[in-house]
Amino acid sequence: MLAKVIIVSAIAAIAEARFGQEGAIQASIQTLNTFGQPGQAATLAGQTPGVLLAGANACAKLALADQIVTALGNDPAVIAAAAQLVGAEKNFNPSAQSIPTLCSDVTLPATAALRGIVPLVDPAVLGSDVENANAASSLTKPFSAAGLSVADVAKAQGFSNFTAQANA
């Protein structure tokens, strides 16, 4: 019986480590409550879990990042929080799909300061080491993205193990 409890606890800890990452992004956006209209930051923060779910369109988080900047302004704190969303790992369900999806819409994100940022991907994905290193560096120094989608930028930087997904 004790062995079962330990195994269940270990599985729960592993699941918690991979899932629920959207909470940090949500909290980051919620702290922007001094920008925009009262309640806007909280409303936008509340939308982050939905755009990071495995079943969400890959372009939805980019559109939300643009909405954050449009609604709250281009203060460096707002840009930094929106950039975290652009670079965030979208949940990945390996039992339902074998590779992640990246947005192929060349118009997203529309905010110039957010272009050239590539997202983290699940460490279980082949090539994730390259993409995750690129994602980390793109938050401080975005890649050239003129006329390119996030999927195009990721591919140009050496990561191609994904499915390109158009804006729905």
- What's the pLDDT tens digit per position in 24-50? 899 999 999 999 999 999 999 999 999
Contacts of 153 (CB under 8 A, 6+ apart): 116, 118, 143, 144, 145
Once rounded to an integer, what is the mean pLDDT over residues 104-115? 98
**Contact criterion met (CB below 8 Å) for 145 and 83:** no
User: Looking at the predicted structure, is the pLDDT value of residue 135 above 90?
Assistant: yes
pTM, to two decimals = 0.87
CA distance 132 to 119: 7
User: Looking at the predicted structure, is the pLDDT value of residue 5 above 60?
Assistant: no
Once rounded to an integer, what is the mean pLDDT over residues 116-127? 95
Q: Which two tokens stand for residue 21?
A: 């990452």
Mean pLDDT computed over every residue of the chain: 89
**DSSP SS3 for 123:** coil
* Closest by Cα among 132, 26, 31 to 84: 26
E strand segments, the chain: 101-103, 163-165
